[in-house]
Amino acid sequence: MLTRPTGITPKGIDIPTQLSRLDIASRRSVIAAVSGGSDSTALLLLTKDHISAVAPGARLVAVTVDHALRAGSDSEAQDVARLCARLGIAHRIETWTGEKPATGIPAAAREARHALLSRAAQDEGTDLVLTGHTANDQAETVLMRQERSSGDLSGRGLAGIAPATLFEGKVWFARPLLETPRAALRGFLQLRGVGWVDDPTNIDMRFERPRQRAAMSGSAGDAGFVAALEQARRMAMQRADVAAKAARIIDSFAQLPAPGLLRLDAEMFDLSEKQAVVYALRLLLAVMGGTTHLPDQERAAALVDRLSREESMRAVLSRALADRRKAGIFVLREARDLPASEGFADGATWDGRYRLTSMTPDCSRIATGHGGSLAPESLLRKAAAGQPRLGPGLAAVPLLAPFARYLPSFDLEPARAIARLLGAVEVPAPPFHGHIESKA
């Protein structure tokens, strides 16, 4: 007799809270990423049930990414296609073509998968892709980040996987099963009489995640699983709280006297909320320097200390120059290693700070700076020298460098604050009703 895991009822599984909070009714279609494994197959069935109940007009499209990394992956994709045909769900296969890397395969495969799913979503006229990440994935992620001890003293990574992530500013990847254990999903599939494929790479001990998964098996692993999930919830709340405070700090103390030049009020560095001040500065340095990664937490904290006590100073971090003068604290791109401005076409990224685009009505929203009299003339000239020289018909739209590729919903508020400050493209609303990004 089948023992029903937690969350299973005689009729199936309760719709996970995060799935029920998705704003599906306003979208004409939704993508479900389905590999054929238990997690994504359960996601497919649960999403179909949910859409039928709350948004019957929405079209569900299953997308299988064939990474073409091992023999048989194409036939597994066809198995998903046959399942979808039986269920009356539209299905498409996206294949990762081209040469594969010799090392770093999981990261490269993840990048390729996101790009292919994003393209499929845009083809289907939607900005929403659902993935089958579970509570088990969340716990594994937290434990792996604990072991890495990367040196980020903020503990941001211990918040785990975000409920949703914006990819390249266009497509939301939502994870509605992030609080649901894998055992419950497999029990649900057994009740429905639907099988799944076990990917052999999930037990390949050459990779970090399978090793962590094996370590969590058994009774000792159960305690670690529970503790990791609790830590993720606690750290997610802390991360969202710091992010919200950082957003308010940016709104209150940062100005844009001219394109490429920020002015920060000195009062910002006298605040008691040091963790939020440090995070706000890390974000602003990365954006002004055009770097995809935030500057080191410890070095940024030391810079905050200097800015709070020294009346005159200059320091470079993450390609950004912080220059404190009587007129204020200014942040701009350092003069070294700037790319040439010639030869860039529509859609190109310049220096990690701008996307070049043909002029459209939307470009009228781009901030051109204000209050230039608040900045010393020498800094205005330096900032101007660090701007792209545009050819006819092109405009430079500011990018949120650390979030240009991936924006976790944890960091939505400061990203919006920086977009307002720079005149960047507005960050779209998350795909949930309410503000689930502050809960994990």
In a domain, 223, yes or no: no
68 and 156 in a common domain: yes
Of 408, 106, 107, 125, which is closest to residue 243 (Cα–Cα)?
Answer: 408
Least reliable range by pLDDT among 9-23, 56-70, 115-129 = 9-23
pLDDT at 146: 83
CA atoms within 13 A on the CB side of 155: 15
pLDDT at 17: 80
In a domain, 282, yes or no: yes
Q: What is the CATH number of the domain that holds 188?
A: 3.40.50.620
Q: Which two tokens stand for residue 54?
A: 């709350």
With 90 as the cut, is the pLDDT of residue 209 above it?
no
Query: What confidence tens digit (pLDDT) does each residue in 387-437 have?
Result: 998 877 788 999 999 999 999 999 999 999 999 999 999 999 999 986 444
In a domain, 82, yes or no: yes
178 and 265 in a common domain: no
266 and 172 in a common domain: no
pLDDT at 155: 73
DSSP secondary structure letter of residue 95: E
175 and 86 in a common domain: yes
In a domain, 107, yes or no: yes
Boundary residue ending a domain (216, 237, 263):
216
- pTM for the structure as a whole: 0.89
Q: What percent of the chain has pLDDT above 70?
A: 85
With 70 as the cut, is the pLDDT of residue 56 above it?
yes
Ramachandran region, residue 255 (left: φ > 0; alpha: ψ -120 to 50; beta: rest): beta
313 and 185 in a common domain: no
278 and 177 in a common domain: no
206 and 263 in a common domain: no
Domain residues for 383? 249-344+366-389+400-433
In a domain, 413, yes or no: yes
pLDDT at 40: 97
Boundary residue ending a domain (164, 191, 216):
216
130 and 261 in a common domain: no
263 and 212 in a common domain: no
In a domain, 36, yes or no: yes
pLDDT at 439: 43
Domains of the chain: total: 2
pLDDT at 341: 73
Q: Residue 6 — pLDDT band, cuts 50, 70, 90?
A: very low
pLDDT at 16: 81
With 80 as the cut, is the pLDDT of residue 151 above it?
no
In a domain, 183, yes or no: yes
169 and 25 in a common domain: yes
- Once rounded to an integer, what is the mean pLDDT over residues 185-207? 79
Quickly list H helices, 5-127. 17-20, 38-54, 73-87, 105-123
With 50 as the cut, is the pLDDT of residue 440 above it?
no
With 60 as the cut, is the pLDDT of residue 367 above it?
no
Report CA-CA distances (Å) from 148 to 144, 145, 156, 238, 346. Answer: 6, 5, 13, 20, 40
With 70 as the cut, is the pLDDT of residue 125 above it?
yes
Boundary residue ending a domain (192, 216, 240):
216
pLDDT at 377: 95
304 and 384 in a common domain: yes
More confident position, 154 or 77: 77
Q: Residue 143 — pLDDT band, cuts 50, 70, 90?
A: confident
In a domain, 244, yes or no: no
Query: What confidence tens digit (pLDDT) does each residue in 316-328 have?
Result: 999 999 999 999 9
Is the distance from CB of 301 to CB of 323 less than 8 angstroms? no
269 and 160 in a common domain: no
